[in-house]
Structures are given as structure tokens and as C-alpha cells.
């Protein structure tokens, strides 16, 4: 992609967003990887194109199941065209098994399956370290209308079923993941990415990770694991 003539709207830890038209942006996936709120940081050659490929794959899958996403069309190995919209300042976290911060918070070992998926929210705010927030506070602060929040919850749980079922066929489990949503003309759509940077994927039998925990926990070569994940899902 020739980004020279495009206006950079936003640069995050793992992506750059360029203005394309009034209603469209180009999402560019960088090779940068960070953990612990940016305290650990590296650039791993090839990560951007892998995450773009996986995100496009899942967005396609979800669109077919009537989940609106921001994906419009492919641009190149590292970028795709996406709908422009206002990003809702919430991170939706869905958990099927205990892992990560949930284990720390409640002193639990990892890998316990929940009776039902757990849905949590964080307020998107790097300075505050994305604090957890509950539905009550979200609505009381008027961050979003109730009917739109319900839509987000429905989409988030439907996404859980679609991706979990797909992965189970490959003997993989969707442990937990983070979603972000955008809004345009009162229409909610899934935005951001769905990748091993934002999800935990484990082998069903061995609990081996194919996600950013490899980097967080210094458990080996992240790119090799992401490539193995690509092979496991036949991409
Ligand atoms: N997650 C994310 N971005 C965040 C926080 C969490 O993509 O800013 C993802 C994370 O990769 C995992 C899930 O959301 O798949 C749950 O993360 P958790 O709350 O356990 O936090 P972590 O252990 O990653 O700090």
C-alpha cells in the first residue's frame, strides 16, 4: 500500500488507520507487538500480515452469519479497507475458560471451563490502564444507549458460538477474546481485529497456546506459533 498520500488518522500499538474516503479508512497491521500496557515492546517481522490475514478470515466468516463488521475489501498483505465510524470506547471481553488477568483477579488456576460464557467490559483508556466497568456504570455515564449495548452483547455472544464451533473442528478452543465495536448512523458494527493478539487460542488436548501469551510469557517464537495456527485453521 502506498500510504504516502494518505492522511494518518490514528496510530495504535499494532495498527495504523489512514483516511481513504469520507466513509472509508485503510487499516494497516504493523509488525509491532506490545504487552503489559506497552511496557514490553518489540517488532516481529511478518506479524502484521499474519494478523491481517486471520482478521479478514474471521470477519468474512462473521459477515456470512449476519454479523456486521467494518471489513470492506482487501488492499494488500498488511491492509484492508474498512468502514469509518466512531469507535465505542469499550472493550468487550468474552471468556470461556479461566486465563490471564481473570486468574490473577480471583486466584484461580488457568483452564477452568465456565458454565456459561462470561462477558466483561473495560473502558478504553490507556492512561487509566483500561479499567473494568460494569453495565450499570456504562449506562449511567451515558457512554452508549441501552438498546445498542444489548446489540453489542448479542453480537459478542453470537461471535463466540461461531468462532468456537469453527475452532473446535480443528481441535482448538477459543479461551477468551477482546472485541471493539464502531457505530455509524446508529448502526453497530464489529471493528478492530480478531487475531491471536486479541484472542487466546489453545490446543484442546494439550492447552498449548497459539496466541500472544507466547510473547507475554516468553514461551518461544511468536511468529512460528502464529504460522502454526494458520496451518491448523487451513489458511
Ligand atoms: N485483550 C486484548 N487487549 C486488551 C486486554 C485484553 O486483546 O487490552 C484480550 C487478551 O488477549 C485475551 C482477552 O482479551 O485474549 C482477555 O484478556 P485478560 O483480561 O485476561 O488480560 P491479559 O491477561 O491479556 O492482561
Q: Is 34 exposed, middle or buried (0-12, 13-18, 19+ CB in 10 A)?
A: middle
Alpha-carbon gap, residue 186 to 199, rounded angstroms: 27
Q: How far is the CA of 177 from the centre of ligand 1 (A)?
A: 7
Mean pLDDT per 10-residue segment, the chain (235 residues): 82 97 97 94 98 98 98 98 97 98 98 98 95 98 97 98 98 98 97 98 98 98 98 98
Q: How far is the CA of 6 from the centre of ligand 1 (A)?
A: 31
Q: Measuring from atom 13 of ligand 1, which residue has the nearest CA?
A: 177
Q: What is the pLDDT of residue 19?
A: 97
Print burial letters for 68-86: b (CB count within 10 Å at least 16), e (below 16): bbbbbeebeebbbbbbbbe
Q: What is the pLDDT of residue 112?
A: 98
Q: How far is the CA of 198 from the centre of ligand 1 (A)?
A: 6
Residues with CB under 6 A from ligand 1: 91, 93, 99-102, 130, 176-178, 198-200, 212
CA distance readout (Å), 209 to 17, 53, 200, 224 = 29, 19, 7, 12
Q: Is the dihedral of CA 207, 211, 213, 214 positive or negative?
A: positive
Alpha-carbon gap, residue 189 to 87, rounded angstroms: 10
- Is this prediction's pTM over 0.85? yes
For a pocket test of ligand 1, which of 13, 90, 173, 176 has the largest count of ligand atoms closer than 8 A to its C-beta?
A: 176
Sequence-ordered list of residues with C-beta below 8 angstroms from that of 21, at least 6 positions apart, any chain = none
Alpha-carbon gap, residue 52 to 195, rounded angstroms: 8
For a pocket test of ligand 1, which of 51, 97, 101 has the largest count of ligand atoms closer than 8 A to its C-beta?
A: 101
Q: How far is the CA of 150 from the centre of ligand 1 (A)?
A: 22
C-beta of residue 83 within 8 angstroms of C-beta of residue 192: no
Q: What is the pLDDT of residue 37?
A: 85
Q: What is the pLDDT of residue 180?
A: 98
Q: How far is the CA of 100 from the centre of ligand 1 (A)?
A: 7
Q: Is the dihedral of CA 211, 93, 129, 16 positive or negative?
A: positive
Q: What is the pLDDT of residue 124?
A: 97
For a pocket test of ligand 1, which of 132, 177, 180 has the largest count of ligand atoms closer than 8 A to its C-beta?
A: 177
Domains of the chain, earliest start first:
7-83 (3.30.200.20), 86-221 (3.30.470.20)
Q: What is the pLDDT of residue 5?
A: 86
Q: What is the pLDDT of residue 22?
A: 95
Alpha-carbon gap, residue 194 to 187, rounded angstroms: 20
Amino acid at each position: 500500500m502506498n500510504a504516502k498520500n494518505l492522511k494518518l488518522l490514528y496510530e495504535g500499538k499494532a495498527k495504523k488507520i489512514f483516511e481513504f474516503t469520507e466513509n472509508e479508512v485503510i487499516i494497516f497491521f504493523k509488525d509491532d507487538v506490545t504487552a503489559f500496557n506497552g511496557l514490553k515492546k518489540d517488532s516481529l517481522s511478518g506479524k502484521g500480515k499474519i494478523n491481517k490475514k486471520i482478521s479478514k478470515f474471521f470477519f468474512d466468516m462473521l459477515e456470512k452469519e449476519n454479523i456486521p463488521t467494518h471489513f470492506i475489501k482487501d488492499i494488500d498483505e498488511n491492509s484492508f479497507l474498512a468502514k469509518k465510524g466512531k469507535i465505542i470506547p469499550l472493550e468487550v471481553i468474552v471468556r470461556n475458560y479461566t486465563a490471564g488477568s481473570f486468574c490473577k483477579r480471583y486466584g484461580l488456576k488457568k483452564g477452568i471451563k465456565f458454565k456459561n460464557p462470561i462477558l466483561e467490559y473495560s473502558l478504553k483508556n490507556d492512561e487509566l490502564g483500561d479499567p473494568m466497568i460494569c453495565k450499570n456504570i456504562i449506562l449511567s455515564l451515558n457512554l452508549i444507549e441501552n438498546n445498542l449495548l444489548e446489540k453489542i452483547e448479542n453480537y459478542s455472544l453470537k461471535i463466540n458460538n461461531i468462532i468456537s464451533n469453527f475452532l473446535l473442528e480443528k481441535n482448538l478452543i477459543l479461551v477468551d477474546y477482546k472485541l471493539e465495536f464502531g457505530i455509524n448512523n446508529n448502526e453497530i458494527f464489529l471493528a478492530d481485529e480478531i487475531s491471536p493478539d486479541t484472542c487466546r487460542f489453545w490446543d484442546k488436548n494439550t492447552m498449548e497456546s497459539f496466541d500472544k501469551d507466547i510473547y507475554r510469557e516468553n514461551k518461544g517464537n511468536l511468529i512460528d506459533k502464529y504460522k502454526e495456527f494458520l496451518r491448523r485453521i487451513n489458511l
